[in-house]
Structure formats: structure tokens, C-alpha cells
Amino acid sequence: MKQFEVNFDGLVGPTHNYAGLSFGNVASLSNASASSSPKQAAIQGLEKMKALSDMGMVQGVLAPQERPDIYALRRLGFTGSDARVLEEAAKHAPAIFRACCSASSMWTANAATVSPSADTADGKVHFTPANLTNKYHRSLEPEVTGRILKGTFADSKHFSHHTHLPDNEHFGDEGAANHTRLCSEYGKPGVEIFVYGRYAFDDSKSAPQKYPARQTFEASQAIARLHGLSDENVVYIQQNPDVIDQGVFHNDVISVGNQNVLFYHEQAFANTDNALAEIRQKFEGDELHFIRVDTSAVSVQEAVKTYLFNTQIITLPNGEMAIIAPTECRDSEAVSNYLDSLVTLNTPIKQVHYFDVKQSMRNGGGPACLRLRVALNEQELTAVNQNTLINDAQFERLHKWIEKHYRDELKEDDLRDPQLLIESRTALDELTQILKIGSVYPFQREV
């Protein structure tokens, strides 16, 4: 049977903006308040999806969330008409208001953790939305994310959906950004690697000092239990606390895996030798490539700046692997030299493709943050909501939809504009019809 890894990229929403909300995510902080271009950002993202589909990959799209989140503001005591809620919140609680406007659902690597059917006890593909408790603006996402995932993977014969973990820092879960999977083929059992930043129930263990560790060991274990993974197929690795303190807020900023390749920075993990030995022992297959990048070649600071590890490693239809990198990697001498030499080495990675995703990079999200990977066999792929897969027709439809509804420029002050809320709702309502995902947004569910 054929097997695929489908990348589901997040569509950028109509209120894309930079609010500087993520402490510990250096790029997000340094671009706060800059004006944004929702139209350009959405088109950049869509073009990346189309380019991957043109390379012969199966590419999907996940709908964005509605922002500003009026419901979150009402829960915090703002009342009256929607226009009044916006006005009062922007005036009296500007920081909270900005958090309720965040564009962050576009980074679908944080939407959920996904375990393919080859790894799970019941032979279904399992999804758990990430609770994203560490950042208030991100903690607003899991409920709607869960509905979007259910609308995209609706067939209960093949897909199993869990509720996000308890909304508490002890079970802080950042989804696939802290999870990767190695396998000989996508449809064969793999090793699921969970990378966590700290222990929540054991203070004696090491943890970062400056920036938060968003993912806990206990959350990772809970996901593995929920998904019915066997201990023989799971490896837990602690992220090096020092690199978290240097701005590596998710594991996917310092390591990435695909099939039999683990690409990682020398300083990525706390106890690298043990972790790699355990992966080697649990991996089913002959050839395993650990590609380590040394600090002398690329410093942690340069990796954070260029997002060398927030690249996507994909397997092309001809079996070769390609790296999908942001143009920031090409613009750095150290990183572009490294990538030039990497493709000449004896590893499966043979190509590098650069993409301009600046509108996302400015919020601290590279190509890998923009996608949720879902490994599927042929039957499961047929069971996916086909309207969420990118082909020429769907690309055209979404392109037109963006052109019709999105603004060219958005300033911070525009977010309180009630007209923008109406525009976004009109756009999102139409989107749910294009993607046929049902009424996922709160404004569509009011009676």
C-alpha cells in the first residue's frame, strides 16, 4: 500500500499581526507593533503550499482561528456589543487585547501531536490538540483547533481525536513542535521522539533559568498513553536547558527529523549520547542517519536567527530528501555554506529549496512551524476531507478568497476596528464553505 506524509500548513488569517507576545521567542519580541500585511502573509504561505504540491507532495491546509477573540474578552468581563467589547478592551487592557488578537494559530506545528496508525494500539491515526498553556494568547487555540481537526479528519473509522491535556502548566503541551518521528517508511512503525523542556512533578531535575520551558515530560508521557503508543516505540529526550535560555523555545528550532534522518545541533539535547543510543536501539530498519551540526560550523545564535533547524525535511517522490529552508538561511554565510556542503555528503538529503516566509519569520515561525505532519496510508488519505488538500483548483479558489477579503496593511490600531471583525467573519464563513469543515467558529455556532 502507498504511504504519504502530508503537510498541513496553517492558512494565515485576515488579522495577521505582530504583537510581541512570546517571551523566550526572540524574533516575536523584536518585531512587536510593526505593521503587517495579512494579504502578503497569506499569499506567501499559500505559495509555499502550492510549491510543495508542485514538487509532487501531498499538501493540506488547516483553517485559521478567528481573531480578535471576542469570546475570550467577554469571558474576562468585557460586555455589550462586539464593537464595545473591542473598544473597551483596547482602551482599558491593551496587553490582554493584543493577546486576544494574536495570529499564532498559523503555526500548525503547535496545533496538535499526531501519531500515525502504524504506531498506535488500535490502528487509527490519533490527534491531540496542544493546550499551549505557557502563553495566554496561544492557550486560546485548542478548542477551535480540535474542531478544525475533526472537520479535516472526520472519518471515525480511521481517525481518533482526543481532548487537549488539562489547561495547566504541569501538563504544558506544545504539540508537534516538540515531537518528531523516525521510521524506515511512513507506513511502518516508527520511533516517536518527545522532547520536553522540564519535569513538572520533580523539582530536583534541571530546567532553564531565564526563559520558560513550555513542554513538560509529564505532558509528553500523557500524549503517548492517550495515543496507545508502546514503550518500545517511544523515546523521551530532555531539551538542553541552556539552549532554551538562548531563545530555542521549541525543539523544532534546534532539531528536525524525517524518516531515517535526525538533523540536530550539537547542543540540542541534555544527554545526547544516551538519547541517540536509545533511538538506535528502538529504530526498526537498517540505515539511520544522525546529522549533527557542530557549534563551530553554526552557533546556536545563528541557528535561532536563520532557523536552520526549523526547515522541513521532506522525501520527494523519487526518494531523495530535500530541505525546505527560509531565505534567512541563504542570507547567512555560515548557514548557506553548511547547507551547500550538506547536500554533497553521504546522507539522503540532496536538495535545498529556499522560501520567503518573512511574514511568519518575524513572529518567530519558520517553514517547519507552518506545517503539521500527518503520515497516512492510501486508505486514510482517501478518508481525509478532500477539500482541505491543495491542488490547482483549490489553490486558485483560496488565492481569490484572500485577494477578495484580506487587507494589504494592518496597523496595531486597526485591530479595534469593528469593521475588521465583520470583514474577518465574512471571510472565515466563506472559508468554511470552501473547505467544507462545518461550523467551527464560535460566531457560526451562536443561536
Ligand X SMILES: NCCC[C@H](NC(=O)CCC(=O)O)C(=O)O
369 included as an active-site residue: yes
Element (H, E) at 375: strand 371-377
Q: Which stretch binds ligand X (CB under 6 A): 34-42, 100-108, 200-208, 401-409?
A: 100-108
Query: Considering the complex, what minimum distance in angstroms separates the CB of residue 62 from ligand X?
Result: 14
E strands in 149-297? 159-161, 179-182, 191-196, 234-238, 255-258, 261-265, 289-293
Residue 367: left (phi > 0), alpha (psi -120 to 50), or beta?
A: alpha
The rounded distance, in Å, linking the Cα atoms of 207 and 193 is: 19
Instruction: Give CA–CA dist 164/171, Å, rounded.
Output: 10
Q: Which of 289, 369, 405, 412 is catalytic?
A: 369
Q: How far apart are CA 426 and CA 414, in angstroms?
A: 17
Residue 8 CB, shortest distance to ligand X, in Å, is: 14
Binding residue numbers for substrate: 19-28, 110, 137-138, 214, 252, 363
Nearer to ligand X, 7 or 233 (CB): 7
From the list 8-16, 20-28, 238-246, 393-401, the region that binds ligand X by CB under 6 A is: 20-28
Question: Counting contacts by CB under 6 A, is residue 289 touching ligand X?
Answer: no
Draw the binding track, 56-95, toward ligand X (x: CB under 6 A; -: no contact).
----------------------------------------
All cell numbers assigned to 127: 490527534
Nearest distance, CB of residue 98 and ligand X, angstroms: 8
Distance CA 208, CA 214 (A): 10
Residue 119 in contact with residue 190, Cβ under 8 Å?
yes
250 assigned to active site: yes
Q: Does 107 bind ligand X (CB under 6 A)?
A: yes
Is 66 noted as a catalytic residue in this protein?
A: no
Name which of 200 and 304 has its Cβ closer to ligand X: 304
Sign of CA dihedral 387, 388, 389, 395: positive
What's the closest the beta carbon of residue 27 comes to ligand X, in angstroms?
A: 8
> What are 216's three cell numbers?
513538560
Using the rule CB under 6 A, is 228 a contact of ligand X?
no
Site for ligand X in 24-53 (CB under 6 A): 25, 28
Binding residues: 19-28, 110, 137-138, 214, 252, 363
Under the binding rule (CB under 6 A), the answer on residue 372 touching ligand X is no
Q: Which of 75, 104, 63 is nearest to 394 (CA)?
A: 63
Q: Which residue, 223 or 276, is less far from ligand X as judged by CB?
A: 223
Residue 20 or 418 with smaller CB distance to ligand X: 20
CB of 369 to ligand X, least distance (A): 3
d(CA 90, CA 93): 6
Residues in the chain: 447
Q: Does 102 bind ligand X (CB under 6 A)?
A: yes
C-alpha span between 431 and 293 (Å, rounded): 42
Site for ligand X in 111-150 (CB under 6 A): 138
The stretch near ligand X (CB under 6 A) out of 3-11, 21-29, 164-172, 419-427 is 21-29
> By the 8 A CB rule, do 3 and 376 touch?
yes
Q: Specify the stretch interacting with ligand X by CB under 6 A; choose among 19-27, 62-70, 217-225, 238-246.
A: 19-27
Extended beta strands in 63-202, E state: 112-115, 125-129, 159-161, 179-182, 191-196
222 grid coordinates: 500523557
Nearer to ligand X, 249 or 406 (CB): 249
Q: Which of 5, 66, 174, 380 is catalytic?
A: 174
Give, in order, the Cα–Cα distances in Å from 210 to each of 122, 240, 249: 41, 13, 11
Closer of 20 and 285 to ligand X (Cβ): 20
Member of 58, 118, 191, 369 binding ligand X (CB under 6 A): 369
Catalytic site positions: 174, 250, 369
The residues that touch ligand X, with contacts defined as CB under 6 A, are 18-22, 25, 28, 102-104, 107, 109-110, 138, 177, 249-250, 363-365, 369
